[in-house]
Amino acid sequence: MSPALRHLGKDLIVTTLFVTGLASYALADETTLKPDQFANASALYATHCTACHNGDRLGGMGPALLPESLERLRGNSIADVIAHGRPATQMPAFDQTLNTADIAVLADWLRQPLAEMPGWSMADIQQSHEVFVEPATLPDKPQFDGDPLNLFTVVEAGDHHVTILNGDTFEPLDRFPTRFALHGGAKYSPDGRFVYLASRDGWVQMYDLYSLQTVAEIRVGLNTRNVAVSDDGRYVMAGNMLPHNLVLLDARDLTPIRNIPVISKDGKSSRVSAVYTAPPRHSFIIALKDLPEVWEISYADDPRPVYPGFVHNYEANMVEALDVQYGPFPIRRIHLADELDDFFFDQEYRHLIGAARNGRDGQVVNLNVGRKIADIALEGMPHLGSGITFEYQGHQVLATPHLKDPKISVIDMETWKTIKIIDTQGPGFFARSHDNTPYAWVDVFFGPHKDVVHIFDKRTLEIVKTLRPEPGKVAAHVEFDRSGKHALLSIWDDDGAVIVYDAATFEEIKRIPMRKPVGKYNVFNKITYSAGTSH
């Protein structure tokens, strides 16, 4: 067993890496609890939770317990976890220790925000950094038989593990523990050798797919949205919801390089909604949740200057302008009329398509000129981050499911007009395809028909098959292998599976048991930025 696995698998899975002296914060909103309930919950937390989660709720031997990090646990989920624990973790069950009323009040207490936004400084980030295997000692070739570019990284949320799946044989090569609530989107180095994983409570993990071991990890924040890898393989950038910042890391071993606060010109800070890399532009593109701006940060060695203010003269050696940014990692701000929650890019990364927060429409932003050039009809909150592009009747089109409406919108990417609405049995979350198949697969993630998946023909824009692989259980997130001959689908259940289908006949080939496999990511499709998968 590697040092990293021993580190992650020992009695207390998440090692305490917090700087001493972090202040304890009062709860910001006690109005939802009566004074006696509040006092009781505080005492219960101090007695039963502080040892693992820290008195400030920022995490320690267990994950952070903040509204931002618990947002996926809806309804009675927090109470259920307190009562019954979490399988394959060190979270015990308290149903024999606490009564139902105590569990309910403690769950309500944990949903309360802190009165003051906690910080996570560069010193904190640096102290959390740990290298388990020196990169210089890693092998030059894969230590297994098979195509290293046809591997899948499968994120299993049921017990916080990742499985590395051989895409040739569909046999697991490794399964290792991860941090709490890993974000589904695995990101790869450009050569496909390393995979970078980010957890909701701020940990970034680097794993070597040749030797099948964790190389390094670091905590970049308290609530992290996702990470992106530069197209030259030198940098990893993490975007945080808490604190409001971006953290730039050295992709070789996750050494921190720069902490970038996300603040507007007038001093308002913003959560980061997502970070993307734009390979043709050699830059990171950042979506902001609380500001009507899009940021572009170049990672080129000699980036062009950014002119955020008034410019009188651009001429070389005679520039007359205000607030010119020279040097590495300049921030280019693209101002918009509305915040954009979700992004999609054309294959050339010339245009950004964003879903507006108003839930009624979307915007097309030309990244070259830095402004909106079109509106598109995208009501019902489309999940653009999981849209796909393909050619239809000589035109490049975008197909995206909607999070609120039972439909798929197909949009011409020249005119930005909707050319087809494909009706489905419910709102969907993911669309996937491949260059080597004429079909696209779209799940029905919400509602009574969440157990079905539609397959439509990209040539006719008609649904040709509807599958129900496991009645009553969510079927979601299709990903193709490198060749496009096989489609892998998840059963999103703690007693779930990854199902391998023949992409031409839609026949099931194999079923691999998994613990809620929320996402699986093929190395080749990701590093080639396939039009059929998310970027």
The DSSP secondary-structure symbol of 305 reads P
| pLDDT (tens digit per residue) in 201-233 | 899 999 999 999 999 999 999 989 999 999 999
Pick from 297, 300, 273: which is nearest to 284 by CA?
Answer: 297
Cβ density class 276-296: b for 16+ within 10 Å, e for less: bbbeebebbbbbbbbbbbbbb
**Contact in structure between 68 and 40 (CB atoms under 8 Å):** no
Q: Count the neighbouring beta carbons within 10 Å of the beta carbon of residue 507.
A: 9
pLDDT-above-70 percentage for the chain: 84
Q: 451, 471 in Cβ contact below 8 A?
A: yes
Parallel, antiparallel, or unpaired for β 340-345 and 351-356? antiparallel
Q: Residue 8: its pLDDT value, please?
A: 42
Contacts of residue 393, defined as CB under 8 A and 6 or more positions apart, other chains included, come to none
Is a pLDDT exceeding 70 seen at residue 20?
Answer: no
pTM (predicted TM-score): 0.82
Q: What is the pLDDT of residues 390-441, one digit of tens each?
A: 999 999 999 999 888 899 999 999 999 999 999 999 999 999 999 999 999 9
Q: What is the pLDDT of residues 323-340, one digit of tens each?
A: 667 779 999 999 888 887
- Give how far Cα 489 sits from Cα of 218, 503, 510, 518, Å: 31, 11, 11, 10
Look at residues 532, 489, 523, 479 and name the one whose alpha carbon lies nearest to residue 509: 489
Per-residue pLDDT of 110-137, as tens digits, reads 888 776 767 899 999 999 999 999 999 9
Across the range 172-198, mean pLDDT stands at 93
Tell me how far apart the alpha carbons of residues 282 and 259 are, in angstroms, rounded to a whole number.
Answer: 19
pLDDT in tens, 46-105: 888 877 776 777 766 567 787 766 765 666 788 888 998 875 456 888 988 888 888 888
Ranges of beta strands (E only) in 167-222 are 172-177, 187-188, 194-198, 203-208, 213-219
Please enumerate in sequence order all residues whose Cβ is within 8 A of that of 176, keeping only pairs 6 or more positions apart, or say none.
4, 5, 8, 161, 162, 207, 214
C-alpha pair distances (Å), 125 with each of 128, 219, 226, 335: 5, 6, 16, 30
For the chain, what percentages of helix, strand and coil (3-state, to nearest 5) are there?
15, 40, 50
